[in-house]
Every structure is written in structure tokens, then in C-alpha cells.
Chain A
Amino acid sequence: MLMTDAKRQFEVPSLSKRVLTIVGGYGSGKSEVSVNLARFLAETTNKPIAIADLDIVNPYFRSREATTRLEKLGIEAIVPRGGQFYADLPIILPEIKSAIEGYEGTLILDVGGDDAGARVLSSLADAFIPGEYEMLLVVNVNRPFTKDIPSSRQLISRIEDSSRLTFTGLISNSHMMEHTTTDTILQGVQVAEELSRATNLPLVFVSVTQDILEKIHPEQLQTPVLSLDRYLLKPWERKTNSNSSTG
């Protein structure tokens, strides 16, 4: 991937745990973050990378839509195949459990929204090995369930209850879709940092699309940055022959 001079000066995320579980409110951008994290790790580490789509609550805008592009980068996608790829069915592939228990590289779990979406983790709870996983909350202050510190704390406790796992960190992914500005990003990070202080959960990184990142001066962001390449595009945002989503 090409990096501009400006970007090189941003700190990049450092994640060493074997299992990275990405959780958050509905529409906070979990899937986009998960897919980009997989790409970033595939490009910057030598370890095998796998991504599992655990979103069984909502069959739209799931990370599995990026399967073909991820596989081109050598990333293993653990998703149902054939017709079931599209099914509105809670399909938990048996491979997911064994991957949580002992995947050789880094496994990214893209989980469904809210405590409802995170409940699936509870059925897999005995596969998680304490100390070998991260559970990261994706925070978008422009979404109602994480709009401020109290609502975010509430979501954290609801998700921890339903998943029976404990959070280990935060991701700031504040955006307003195509209306995102540099202020959206900076204000989001500010709230995320506040939440970090209130919960003692480290802010692991902030995710920003490349076009906005170009407008931000490195000094404005003291947090590690994951630059986002949009994978989960709306049909009218796609260019011909890119982002093919056939399973």
C-alpha cells in the first residue's frame, strides 16, 4: 500500500494477542474496522491472518461481503459458503470454535451489534483462553448508544454481561459516513480518550479513512492510527470490477 509522507508520521496500531474480538453498537463500523485491521496485519506482519464473521443478527453490511478481496491478500475468511453465504440464518461454523482455541496466527472476530449481537460469544465462551484475546469496543460518538461516557459505559456492561468476556480496549471510529470532517475525527478521539480514562481501558487506535487523514496534521493525533480503505461500500459507491462480493 502506498503511504504518503504525512501518514508515515502517524503511529500505527500494535496488537500482539492471538484473538482480536471486535464488538460495538449497531452501525458503529465494526465490520469495516475488522476488515481493515485484517488487511493491515496481513500487510505488516508475517503471521497468517483469519477473519470470522460472527454477525448473526443482521444479514446486511457484514464483513463477509469483502471475502474475495480479503482472500486476494492471503487472509483466510471463515464464512459460510454457497447459498448459505447469503442466508439470514445464525450459522456458526464449527471451524470458528477451533480457531478461537488454537489458531496459529491472528484471528479477528467480527461480532454483531450491541449485547444482542455479542451474545453469540457466550456460546463460545469456553473456547476463549484468558490472556490470549483482546476484546475491543468500537466507539462512534455519532451513534446513539455510544454518544457520551454514560451511554458507552452502559453498553460496555451490557455487552460484557451477554458475552461473558471482558473488554481489553477501545477503538475510536467516529464518523458521519460521507459527511465526516476532521472535526468529526478529533472530537471522537477526545470522547474516546475521556472514556478510556473513565474505564481504564486503553484507546488502542483511531480508525480514519485516507481522504480525511490527509487533512489531519500528525500533531493533532497522539493515538495510533489505522487508515481505513472502504471495503463495505454501498452499490453506488463501488467502482466497476472492484469489491466483488461473490462467495
Chain B
Amino acid sequence: MAKILMKGNEAIAEAAVKAGAQGYFCYPITPQSEVAEYMSRRMPELGRVFLQGESEVAVGNMLFGAASTGLRVFTTSSSPGISLMQEAISYMAGAQLPAVIVNIMRGGPGLGGILPAQSDYFQAVKGGGHGDYRLLVLAPSTVQEAVDLMMLSFHLADKYRNPVMMIGDGMIGQMMEAVEFPDEYKEDPLPPKDWDLTGAKGRSPRVVKSLFLDPVKLEDNSWLLHEKYERMKREEVRYELYKVSAKNKILIIAYGTMARICQTAIDELEQEGISVGLFRPISLFPFPEKEIKKEASKKNIQTVLTVEMSTAQMMEDVERAVLGAKPMAFFGHTGGIVPTP
């Protein structure tokens, strides 16, 4: 298929369509409303489900109900809307339901502002809602990568029976870049479903739930989930290196569009004779801890610099990875002020 120019939000929507999303539930919020607008035309055209709910609280729970059918479903929102969905996200994680949630982040806390920021890192990677759970979290840095990761998200959601969150800032949502969709979307085979609600015909009834009154059973469930998260840590770490070499004095850690801004800065520094490498985590949970540790521990690295559009949230994970092996530094802006190269 030829390259076409698409806004990030439209590309995310179309990627979901290509990945076989059968249902999309939404509530308008800047800067991701284009997804809803795009889907309101695209889904009915395909005979699939589009529904604008009355609130993000309802939308999150509609997603729960829809995911219980075993069909692929997703929603998109932005920071305050994602907060309202945390109830349902926690329930979905507890009930082991697959679903994809996209957060086109803006500045917070509270109403904050609508300009690009990466202020929801903690919310995304540390659980976000109540209870003992994790989401798989992916962060694209280009519109093409948003397409690729969106498709991957649906696969991972089904593979792990877990909600997957893709986070991007307003730039990813609003930016237009050339993208290419695969002509035919193929993915690895998935385990057969034995939990979806299809009616108790010829089998005993199934219950999709996260309630376990007996503490022993609740603990069993929590350890089962924990084992799943550990498996993600073994199998789903994703990252990219840029100009990492033995000449580097500084190693930058940055994700999403922030990483691209760092790339340009690295290019400019190279002209000035300063060698800097970039480590870009693509999966934020699982976080590439071992890999960062390995790169940071190399003899030539003098400083590990974390760059974010938030007040050093990811840096805590970087610190955990580096474990004091190297001096740390941070640079960042938030609230919609986008750092420039």
C-alpha cells in the first residue's frame, strides 16, 4: 500500500480498523477528538460499532462490557478522561479482559492545559487505578510507529488478556506524517479463548469478574496476574538506540516525541564534536531496565541524562535501572512547553 499523509489521531483510528477492532467507544476531549470524528464515519461504513458515551466513566465501563464478548475493542482519550476511566481499567485488569486504551496526553495536574506533555507516565506505568495491577504501555515517537504499535497493542491485549495502553502527547495526535499500512495484517497465532461470554449453550455459565471474596482465592488471582506481568517483562521489552557508540560521553534516555527532539539535538552536538547517544524506551511497561543498565554501565558514559515533558517521572525508573552506577541528570519542560533542540 502506498504512503499517505495522516494526522496521528486519524492514523491511530485507521490502524485500529486494520487490526480488526470491532467496537470503539469514546467521549470527546482535546487533543484526540479526531479519532472519534474519524471513527464515527469509518466504523458504521464497515458495519462495526461506534458509540459516543455520556462520560469517560461510562465509556470505560462500556469497554468492559464490550470486551467481555471477546471481540476487539478500544477507546481513546486524553489525561483527565483517562483518569475517569481508571475504575473500569482496574476492573478490566482484574477480570483479565483485553482492550486497547490510547492516551493522547496533555499537561496536568487537574484540568492543566491541552498542549503536549508527558505528564501521565506514572499513571500509565504504575497501574493508575486502584489495586495491584499493571498495563502494558507503549509509547510511539512517530505517526508510523503509532500505527505499528496500535496494531501490536491489539495483539498483545489478546495475547496477555490484559488492557494495553498506548501513550502519546498532543504532538503525536496532531502531527501529520507519511504512513504506510500493511496490505494484509498478519499476526502470530493467539491462544484459544475460553473466557468470552457467548451464552451458556452446551457449557456451564462463565462469569467475567474481579471479585474474589475468599482472600485465598484473591491472593491466588493476584499472584497469577503477577506471573503474567513477569512474563511481559521477559518477553515484551522494546526500545531503540540512536547514535550509541563507544565515543558517547552522555547517554540520553527519552521516549515518544521527546526522543525525536533529542535526536536533532544529538545531531547538532555531533557537529560541535560532542558525542551523545540516545536510548529510547518504546515499552514503558515493561521498562527496559536491564538494557538501560547495560548501556549506562559502559565505561565511556559519564552521565545519564533523562529528558521528559514531565517533572522527572520516568527518571525514577531510569534511576532504578542504573542503580547508582552513573551520575544522573534531568532536563525537561512540562505544561505544554515543548523543549526544542
Q: Which A residues contact B (CB, under 8 angstroms)?
A: 82-87, 246
Bound CA span A87–B214, Å: 8
Excluding A85-B213, A85-B214, A87-B213, 11 further A-B contacts by CB distance (< 8 Å) are A82-B213, A82-B214, A83-B212, A83-B213, A83-B214, A83-B217, A84-B213, A86-B213, A86-B214, A86-B215, A246-B216
* A residues less than 8 Å from B212 (CB atoms): 83
For the complex formed, measure the closest distance between the CB of A243 and the CB atoms of chain B, giving whole angstroms.
Answer: 15
Nearest A residue to B211, CB-CB: A83
For the complex formed, measure the closest distance between the CB of A238 and the CB atoms of chain B, giving whole angstroms.
Answer: 15
* B residues less than 8 Å from A87 (CB atoms): 213
Q: Can you list, as one digit per residue, whether each of B213-233 has a CB less than 8 Å from chain A (1) or not (0)?
A: 111110000000000000000
Bound CA span A82–B214, Å: 7
Interface residue total, chain B, C-beta cutoff 8 A: 6
* A residues less than 8 Å from B216 (CB atoms): 246
Q: Which B residues contact A (CB, under 8 angstroms)?
A: 212-217
Count of A-B contacts judged by CB separation below 8 Å: 14
For the complex formed, measure the closest distance between the CB of B130 and the CB atoms of chain A, giving whole angstroms.
Answer: 16
Interface centre among B212, B214, B215, B216 (most CB of A within 10 A): B214
For the complex formed, measure the closest distance between the CB of B250 and the CB atoms of chain A, giving whole angstroms.
Answer: 49
For the complex formed, measure the closest distance between the CB of B217 and the CB atoms of chain A, giving whole angstroms.
Answer: 7
* B residues less than 8 Å from A83 (CB atoms): 212-214, 217
Bound CA span A85–B217, Å: 13
Bound CA span A214–B253, Å: 66
* B residues less than 8 Å from A246 (CB atoms): 216
Bound CA span A84–B213, Å: 7
Interface of A is mostly: helix
Bound CA span A182–B336, Å: 65
Nearest A residue to B212, CB-CB: A83
* B residues less than 8 Å from A82 (CB atoms): 213-214
A-B contact pairs, 14 of them (CB 8 A): A82-B213, A82-B214, A83-B212, A83-B213, A83-B214, A83-B217, A84-B213, A85-B213, A85-B214, A86-B213, A86-B214, A86-B215, A87-B213, A246-B216
* B residues less than 8 Å from A86 (CB atoms): 213-215
Bound CA span A85–B218, Å: 14
Bound CA span A82–B215, Å: 10
For the complex formed, measure the closest distance between the CB of B56 and the CB atoms of chain A, giving whole angstroms.
Answer: 28
* B residues less than 8 Å from A84 (CB atoms): 213
* A residues less than 8 Å from B215 (CB atoms): 86
Bound CA span A86–B217, Å: 12
Bound CA span A125–B212, Å: 34
For the complex formed, measure the closest distance between the CB of B221 and the CB atoms of chain A, giving whole angstroms.
Answer: 12
For the complex formed, measure the closest distance between the CB of A130 and the CB atoms of chain B, giving whole angstroms.
Answer: 38
Bound CA span A116–B213, Å: 24
Interface centre among A84, A85, A86 (most CB of B within 10 A): A86
Bound CA span A84–B216, Å: 13
Bound CA span A218–B214, Å: 45
* A residues less than 8 Å from B214 (CB atoms): 82-83, 85-86
* A residues less than 8 Å from B217 (CB atoms): 83
Nearest A residue to B215, CB-CB: A86
* A residues less than 8 Å from B213 (CB atoms): 82-87
For the complex formed, measure the closest distance between the CB of B200 and the CB atoms of chain A, giving whole angstroms.
Answer: 21
For the complex formed, measure the closest distance between the CB of A86 and the CB atoms of chain B, giving whole angstroms.
Answer: 5
Nearest B residue to A245, CB-CB: B215
Bound CA span A85–B214, Å: 8
Shortest beta-carbon contacts, A-B, top 5: A83-B213, A83-B214, A86-B213, A87-B213, A86-B215
Nearest B residue to A80, CB-CB: B213
Bound CA span A20–B189, Å: 65
Bound CA span A246–B219, Å: 14
Interface centre among B212, B213, B215, B217 (most CB of A within 10 A): B213
Bound CA span A85–B212, Å: 12
For the complex formed, measure the closest distance between the CB of B52 and the CB atoms of chain A, giving whole angstroms.
Answer: 35
* B residues less than 8 Å from A85 (CB atoms): 213-214
For the complex formed, measure the closest distance between the CB of B51 and the CB atoms of chain A, giving whole angstroms.
Answer: 33
For the complex formed, measure the closest distance between the CB of B62 and the CB atoms of chain A, giving whole angstroms.
Answer: 27
Bound CA span A149–B212, Å: 45
Interface centre among A82, A83, A85, A87 (most CB of B within 10 A): A83
Bound CA span A86–B214, Å: 6
For the complex formed, measure the closest distance between the CB of A89 and the CB atoms of chain B, giving whole angstroms.
Answer: 9
